[in-house]
Every structure is written in C-alpha cells, then in structure tokens.
Amino acid sequence: MIDRTLAPASFPVKNFNFRNYRKIILNGHIEGLVIPDKQHPICSIEIIFRSGSWFEKNPGVAFLTGKMLLEGNSTKNGEEIALAFEHMGAHIEIQTAVDGTSIRLFATQKHIHSSLSLLQEILFTPSFPAHEFEVIKNLKVEQIKIQLAKNTYFATSYFHELLFGATHPYGRSLKEIEIKQRSLLEITDFFQLQFQNNPKVVLCGDIDEKIIEKTALLLGNINKVGEEMPSFEIRPNHGHQTIERSDSVQASLRVGAQTIHRGDQDIHKLTVANKLLGGFFGSRLMKKLREEKGLTYGVYSSITHAHNASYWTISTEMKSDNAEDSLETIHEIITELAQNYPSLSEVDMLKNFLRGNFLSSMNSILDVASIYTLLFVNDISHHFLNTSLETIDNIRPKDISEMIQKYYLDSDKSSLFVR
C-alpha cells in the first residue's frame, strides 16, 4: 500500500525536449511562426494585429470593431457565417485587448483551405450591418452593468486606474456611456486605417506548404508595416484608498505596483519568489490568511506582463470586517519573507510544484502554441524557457528573499478596499 504521508520522489527537468518550430516571412514583410504536429489532422492559424485599444482615439472602438467582423460580409450575414464554419467543423475566435487583436481559426486539415477562404472574406469585405451594431452595443452596456455590480470586477478595474492613471490604456475600463456614444462610422474608419497594423501569424498543427501559401495569399492585400506606436504617460496613485458601496457584505482587496518587464535579468527569480509569496495553494499568503487566520477562502499574488508595462498584484475577497486585518497581514508576510530566508524544505516544495506546472503547461500542441505565441509576439527568444527551468533548479532561499526585498518592499505601492 502507498504511504500517503511521504511525498513522491522529485527530480530536476533536464534536457527537456521542446517542440520544434520555424520562423517564416510571408509576402516579404509579415513575420510568421510554424509549430508542426502531424499526430492529428488539426490546424490552428492565429493572426495577431497591433490594433487593440492602445491605438483607438475613442474608448470602445477597437472592441466593437473586433465584434463586428463576424456579423456579416459582402456575401453572407452573421448567421450564414456561423453556419458555414459549423458545416466545416471549424471554429473562429476574435479577441480584442489593449495591445492587439487576435483572430484564431481552428479547422481540420480537410477543411482548412475553405475555412481560410471564409476568413479572407471576413477580414477584407466586412459589411458592418447597422442593426447588429446596435445589438452588440446594447449587449455590452448590459454586460458592463452586471460586471460593475460585482465588487471583484469593480475593484480590479479601479485598481488598474490607480496603477496607471485614468487616461492610460492599461488604466481605462469601458463605461456604458462610452459604448453608447460610439458610431458605426468610427468603427469603419478604425478598420480601414488601423485594424490591420503590423500582423504576425502563428500556424500550428498539421501544417504543410500549401497551407502556408494559402495563408500568405489571404494576407496578400496587407501592405502596412505598422503605424507609429502612440505614447501615454503613466500617472500612478500610490497609497491606500477605500471605496464604500451600499449593500456590500463582501470586501475586495488589491495591493500592487509596477515591476520589471520580461526581458529583465531578474525576471525568472522574481517569478519564482512571487509563486512562494502567493502563487500556489501552499504559498505564504494562503497559509497565513486562509489556513491560520481564516480571513479568506483564497488569496493570490500574480505578475502581469503587458506589451508596454508589467505589474504585480495581490488580490483577495473577504468579509468587510476582515479587510484591515487582511491588509496588515499581507504587509507583515511581505516584510517577513524579505527579511528572513525561507527554509530549504519550503523552497524544495515550491520547486516541485513549478516543475510539474511547467510540464503540464507543455502537455498538448495547443498549450505549446500558446506559450510560443506569447514569446513570438513579444520578440522574446525561446531561450527564455530554458532559463526559466534553470532558475527553478538553481534558485536559493537567499535569492527569493532578495527579490521580495527589492521589488515588493518599495513604498510606491497602491492598495484598495472596495466594500
């Protein structure tokens, strides 16, 4: 019988066999990444444009442009587009964020060429029907109302404003009035002038040269190499703020600050240190706030990397009466970890978790594609992954405390209660 009191044996991840990939150039100027996998006759093609809300003149324009692409083109209405993809067993996703818009197509090898032809119609002959535009606006307005009623969403949105300022793209959140004010003319103008900026393409799965040629043909009308990147001043609001909301039983707490980007030499050590602080169920924050004090069901620390900024955040929800105690405890845990090295057993447990987490993140071809795409879009070498594994194996308790002291004890932090 297995002795459940003993942890299973662990070992370093040595000489990990990363999946192959190759970089290509389409039409002389469009960067592409091919991640081959012949095990299953499935293809994924993702096109990433630099056309997120960072590039819009008025809030909501980029979001609405992305939403409208599937509502009709010169030959089909929105329902006919959906039925066409369904008939081919294909699926399409369009997601617009601050830094860009991602269009991802999933299809079988058998139907990938016809699916790409339909995608070409969507990308180059959208009809932007007026009725569907009003429907999408109304749905988004209702969604914003529902989200803002939740402390969790409200706290996260307002906290981003504290970190970056209300006028910065990373600090803004869409408001009902902004959606209502948007016109169809703004959407068509944005599509014609901004939407197809500086594309990158990732082809994953059972990809052959004919599919690459078809993708190049699809993007043949795009000759833009990218508009100049707009610049925005970051205006953080440091210190603590409390927002009282009527009929609120539960409080949301956020603590955080801007931090180093992915290319910094400390980023891998900082990532490991953040995990020990609050990045998994055995973290310091979880043990103290949940297990010992019973202040919350969950508390997490994370590092977010956007294209033009990075920041760490500690987030948790609790009863309103426990808010002050929770914030004080969080600061105590950060100070304790900065001043006193964690034990070797605690660091070994963390290393085992991170090794397992890394292996599971590389489990399927789509998992690998997500990670490779992230590196590719941000112009980061794949050596980044090897360095991450090496750091997990070699990091010392001293390194973890130094990272917390260097990047978390800074007085330029922001904190927020919403209750």
230 in a structural domain? no
pLDDT-based confidence at residue 100 (cuts at 50, 70, 90): very high
Whether residue 251 is found in the same domain as residue 394: yes
267 in a structural domain? yes
Q: What secondary structure does DSSP assign to 171-191, as a single string? A: T----HHHHHH--HHHHHHHI
* Chain CA centroid to CA 82, Å: 26
Supply the pLDDT for residue 225: 55
Q: At which residue do the structure tokens 């240190």 appear?
A: 273
The three-class DSSP label of residue 330 is helix
Whether residue 297 is found in the same domain as residue 205: no
Q: Percent of the chain having pLDDT more than 70?
A: 99
CATH code for position 90:
3.30.830.10
pLDDT-based confidence at residue 58 (cuts at 50, 70, 90): very high
Whether residue 300 is found in the same domain as residue 412: yes
Whether residue 305 is found in the same domain as residue 367: yes
Contact 171, 164 (CB under 8 A): yes
Supply the pLDDT for residue 8: 73
71 in a structural domain? yes
151 in a structural domain? yes
End of a domain among 187, 218, 249? 218
pLDDT-based confidence at residue 227 (cuts at 50, 70, 90): low
pLDDT-based confidence at residue 223 (cuts at 50, 70, 90): low
Supply the pLDDT for residue 102: 98
Whether residue 337 is found in the same domain as residue 272: yes
15 in a structural domain? no
Please write the tens of the pLDDT for every residue from 253-300: 999 999 999 999 999 999 999 999 999 999 999 999 999 999 999 999
Please write the tens of the pLDDT for every residue from 102-126: 999 999 999 999 999 999 999 999 9
Supply the pLDDT for residue 11: 75
Whether residue 339 is found in the same domain as residue 406: yes
Residue type, 276: L
Please write the tens of the pLDDT for every residue from 352-407: 999 999 999 999 999 999 999 999 999 999 999 999 999 999 999 999 999 999 99
Whether residue 201 is found in the same domain as residue 249: no
- Buried-state track 124-133, b at ≥16 Cβ within 10 A, e below 16: eebebbeebb
Contact 327, 417 (CB under 8 A): yes
Whether residue 81 is found in the same domain as residue 163: yes
8 in a structural domain? no
Residue 172's domain comprises 22-218
State how many domains the chain has. Answer: 2
3 in a structural domain? no
Q: How far apart are CA 36 and CA 53, in angstroms?
A: 32
Q: How far apart are CA 35 and CA 109, in angstroms?
A: 15
Supply the pLDDT for residue 14: 82
Please write the tens of the pLDDT for every residue from 295-319: 999 999 999 999 999 999 999 999 9
12 in a structural domain? no
End of a domain among 159, 183, 218? 218
Whether residue 184 is found in the same domain as residue 129: yes
Whether residue 152 is found in the same domain as residue 296: no
Task: Count CA atoms within 13 Å of residue 26 on its CB side.
Answer: 29
Q: What is the mean pLDDT of the chain?
A: 95
Q: Look at the pTM and tell me if it is higher than 0.85.
A: yes
